[in-house]
Every structure is written in structure tokens, then in C-alpha cells.
């Protein structure tokens, strides 16, 4: 059996990305007739038309849609393998890293991270971006360099990950709040007024799941989309915000905090990136820097209410 022409993978990747023979030809610097011949060859090899006429344009077949991400990953891995590894001069590095993170990450870890950058790579800039969902689309298309969060079903299977730290939920309330002093029972906690953090598509969260076996439900008075908003409301009212401890350390200053009176599982916060950046020296240095900074933060455990 003859070996396939692997150059066709690059051609197929560009064709499926552009969805146009003319646009793909311009991108690969080929003539339209040469690109048409390449498409004919791809159709012969795959046994599928791949792109079919629809009005004045072309649309992908189901087989093409199935191949699109797979072929893109193969091409990216090949490019990364062939990319030369350059020595990294941090003093001359001029680069901006886009980091997608949940609320509180920049406030908690930003100062120490910026301190490292000032000492080691003063030409590096950071762009923290809000995390409205858990999809990996922005990592895949290159809009985001790095992302922090919990790996879940919405995380792309190709995404690389490095564990940064473990976190767990605690209670936060205004200074002097009655529940922040003395013993707290699960019933007391559930009956108090709560501000809940949830995305529009999110169901039951970890706190509610921990209360459910006890037959308890939180008295949720208001729902918000982020931890910063939840803590701002709790700071100026009698509401309680249940938030991840390490992620929100920079947002809870001056508030009364307490361990929740129900067992809460820890979650692993990971750093995620697209595999095409694996061999990039600057990106690798940034990953290791973030790991070191996040690992350096330590907080004593809060007492568990009895």
C-alpha cells in the first residue's frame, strides 16, 4: 500500500478553514486551477466530495465537518514539532499574554505575578479576560494564550493542563454578621439569606449539593454572575456569599469568613493551553511562572463550626 501524501493535510486544513477554493489558493499562494486539482485529489483520497456547491459558495459535507478539527490538530502538532526551539532572552522579550480567568484571580495572584515579571521580563504585558463560560473556543482559535479553571466536560479534549492549586468553598459575610461568630449549624447556614453565584446555564452548585442530603436548601435572595458581585452585596448587607477561598482572597479583605458547616469537596484549579503552544519558549516560561506564583500562596485553614 502506497504512503499517503501528507502535504494534502495542509491543503485540506486550509480548504476547510476558508470554505473557498479561491481563498485557500490565495492563502497557500497557489493558482485557483492548482487548488482545484488539489481538491479533486483530496476527494479521490477521502472518497468524499468534502465541499459542495450551495448557491454561489461552498459548504462542507458531514465528512468534512468531522475531519475539520482532527486535521487542524494534526497540522498544528506537525508545525510545533518542526518549529525550531529558540533560546529565550527574558530581558528582551516583548509580548502580551491573554489570560482568561474567573473573577478574583487577578486580584489574588496578580500582584505577585507582576512582581515576577518586573524582575525577570519587564517587556511582558498581561491581559486578563473575563470567563463567561467553560468552552475552549478561544484557546483553540488563539484569542487566549492561557486559561485557569476546573477541567470539565466543556473543555476541549486536545487542551493541555497543569494543576495550579486546590480550592474549596467558604462563607463570607459583612464584619459583625451574627453567623460569623460562634457555632453555626447547617440549618442556621441554610436559613440565612444568601447571594448565589451561577451562570445562566448552570444547575445545582457544590454548596447546594452538599446541603441536599440533609434535606436543606439555601434561602437564596439574589443570584449574580460572579464572585466579585456576590461579595460586594454580602459586604453591605446581611446576605452570605459562599465562594472559593483562594480564588477570592483579594476580594474578601475586611470581611468575616468562616468554614461551611457541611463537608465540601476540594476542586483542582488548572492552567490550560492549546497544544500548538507546547514548544514555544515564551509560553512555556509563562506557564511555569504562573505555576510557581500560584503554588507560593498558602492560607491557614479556617476553623470548622461545631
Q: In 10 A of CB 30, how many CB atoms?
A: 17
Letter string b/e over residues 235-264, b meaning 16 or more CB atoms within 10 A of that residue's CB: bebebbbbbbbbbbbbbbeebbbbbbbbeb
Write the pLDDT tens digit of every residue in 218-251: 999 999 988 889 999 999 999 999 999 988 888 8
Cα 22 to Cα 300: distance, rounded to the nearest angstrom: 62
**Mind spelling out the 3-state secondary structure of the chain?**
CCCCCCHHHHHHHHHHHHCCHHHHHHHHCCCHHHHHHHHHHHHHHHCCCCEEEECCEEEECHHHHHHHHHHHHHHHHHHHHHCCCCCCCHHHCCEEEEEEECCCHHHHHHHHHHHHHHHHCCCEEEEEEECCCCCCHHHHHCCCCEEEECCCCCCCCCCEEEEEEEECEEEEECCCCHHHCCCCCHHHHHHCEEEEECCCCCCCCHHHHHHHHHCCCCEEEEEECCHHHHHHHHHCCCCEEEEECHHHCCCCCCCEEEECCCCCCCEEEEEEECHHHCCCHHHHHHHHHHHHHHHHCCCCCCCCCC
pLDDT given at position 301: 46
Q: Contact, 194 vs 239, CB < 8 A?
A: yes
257 vs 249, residue with greater confidence: 257
Class of domain 95-167+268-296 as given by CATH = alpha beta
Quick one: pLDDT band at residue 97, thresholds 50, 70, 90? very high
Least confident of 3-12, 131-140, 166-175, 216-225: 131-140
Residues forming a β-bridge with 148: 271
C-alpha 90/C-alpha 104 separation (Å) is 27
Rounded CA gap, 150 and 168, in Å?
A: 12
CATH class name, domain 7-82? mainly alpha
What does pTM read for this prediction?
Answer: 0.63
7-82 and 169-265 in the same fold: no
Q: Residue 93 above 60 pLDDT?
A: yes
pLDDT at site 201: 61
pLDDT bin (cut points 50, 70, 90) of residue 305 is very low
CATH assignment, 169-265 = 3.40.190.10
Phi, psi of 91 (to 5 degrees): -65, -20
- At residue 174, the pLDDT reads 94
Can you give the residue ranges of every domain in the chain? 7-82, 95-167+268-296, 169-265
Amino acid at each position: 500500500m502506497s504512503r499517503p501524501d501528507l502535504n494534502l493535510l495542509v491543503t485540506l486544513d486550509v480548504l476547510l478553514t476558508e470554505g473557498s477554493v479561491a481563498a485557500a489558493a490565495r492563502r497557500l499562494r497557489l493558482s485557483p486551477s492548482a487548488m482545484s486539482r488539489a481538491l479533486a485529489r483530496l476527494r479521490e483520497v477521502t472518497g468524499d466530495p468534502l465541499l459542495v456547491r450551495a448557491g454561489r459558495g461552498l459548504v462542507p459535507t458531514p465528512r468534512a465537518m468531522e475531519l475539520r478539527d482532527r486535521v487542524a490538530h494534526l497540522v498544528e502538532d506537525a508545525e510545533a514539532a518542526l518549529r525550531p526551539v529558540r533560546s529565550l532572552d527574558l530581558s528582551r522579550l516583548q509580548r502580551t499574554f491573554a489570560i482568561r480567568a474567573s473573577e478574583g484571580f487577578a486580584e489574588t495572584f496578580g500582584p505577585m505575578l507582576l512582581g515576577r515579571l518586573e524582575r525577570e521580563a519587564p517587556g511582558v504585558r498581561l491581559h486578563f479576560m473575563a470567563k463567561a463560560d467553560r468552552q475552549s473556543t478561544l484557546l483553540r482559535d488563539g484569542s487566549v494564550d492561557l486559561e485557569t479553571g476546573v477541567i470539565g466536560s466543556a473543555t476541549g479534549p486536545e487542551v493541555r493542563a497543569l494543576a495550579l492549586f486546590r480550592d474549596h468553598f467558604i462563607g463570607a459575610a459583612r464584619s459583625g454578621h451574627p453567623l460569623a461568630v460562634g457555632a453555626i449549624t447547617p440549618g442556621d447556614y441554610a436559613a440565612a439569606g444568601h447571594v448565589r453565584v451561577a451562570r445562566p446555564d448552570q444547575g445545582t452548585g457544590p454548596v447546594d449539593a452538599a446541603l441536599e442530603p440533609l434535606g436543606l436548601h439555601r434561602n437564596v435572595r439574589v443570584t449574580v454572575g460572579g464572585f466579585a458581585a456576590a461579595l460586594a452585596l454580602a459586604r453591605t448587607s446581611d446576605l452570605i456569599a459562599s465562594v472559593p477561598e483562594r480564588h477570592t482572597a483579594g476580594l474578601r479583605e475586611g470581611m468575616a469568613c468562616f468554614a461551611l458547616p457541611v463537608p465540601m469537596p476540594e476542586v483542582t484549579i488548572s492552567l490550560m493551553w492549546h497544544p500548538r503552544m507546547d514548544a514555544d519558549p515564551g509560553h512555556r516560561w509563562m506557564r511555569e511562572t504562573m505555576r510557581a506564583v500560584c503554588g507560593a500562596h498558602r492560607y491557614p485553614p479556617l476553623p470548622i463550626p461545631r
